[in-house]
Amino acid sequence: MAAEKSRAIVLRATPFGETSSVVSLYCREFGKLRALAKGAWRPKSGFDGALDLLSTCQVLVLRKASGGLDLLTEAALESRFRVGDSLSAVLGGLHVAELLDALTADADPQPEFFDVAHATVRRLSDWRGDEAALPAVLTAVELAMLRLIGQAPVLARCAECHGPLRDAPRTAFGMLDGGTLCDRCRGGRRAVVSVSAAAIAALRLLADGRVPADEIPLPAAVGGEVRGLMTTLFAHLIGRPLRVPTQPRRTARRSTR
């Protein structure tokens, strides 16, 4: 069986034995796969440092016809994810990798999914911009991914009856219903949160995609509300909280008294 070639993003690499590694990849041509990279950490190998987390590489894979690990025979580095001055940008890259893993099935190629993730990872690598733009950038890629898997949240009408929404300071959002709810459909439903008009407007702009995410103003309060909504939405969608925070956790300062 001949090895097949693909572009791939490295999602995870776990040591296997003394010099080998089990690698999780999202390939543009093959989708998500797990492969054994024999001798990956030897000084002279066919992987050339290409298996670092979030790296993009060209890989050669011997794919198994049945269950078990594929065999990664070669990987050539295309671009490495570089840690710059922003911890939030690094966490954002790890968040994108977690979404790639959580939202996709094995061996189900979705080239558009790869392209969206790859563009975002490249953008977050060695981030030198204003960190205030990061919540909008991450929310935009999340909404794009949800659209590609057919789970885009309904934001312009009632997700249940498809009727219009009343202009109001706050709107109900049903996590289990997949979007905004009108006053009539709101009653008696579980997992419903109240979202401000400013946050709904920001989500609509970010979902539209015609304006670059970092050009969409997202004040701190609105950005925090949007990020909280998306985090809760993904927890309901995948059945568990996401493991990677999108912002550094703050630790309380001890009193010196």
The Cα–Cα gap between 117 and 112 comes to 9
pLDDT at position 256 is 42
Confidence (pLDDT) at 120: 96
Q: What is the mean pLDDT of each run of 10 residues along the chain (257 residues)?
A: 90 93 96 94 80 95 86 94 93 96 94 97 93 95 97 97 96 97 95 97 95 91 96 95 82 43
> In this predicted structure, what is the pLDDT of residue 45?
76
List, in order of start, the domains of the chain with CATH numbers.
4-79 (2.40.50.140), 130-238 (no CATH)
What is the reported pLDDT for 235? 95
**Chain segment 148-192, per-residue pLDDT in tens:** 999 999 999 999 999 999 999 999 999 999 999 999 999 999 999
- pTM of the predicted structure, to 2 decimals: 0.91
CA dihedral 207, 210, 214, 217 (to 10 degrees): -70
Please report the pLDDT score of residue 257 as a whole number.
41
Per the CB < 8 A criterion, the answer to whether 226 and 134 are in contact is: no
Per-residue confidence (pLDDT) for residue 84, from 0 to 100:
87
What pLDDT is attached to residue 47? 84
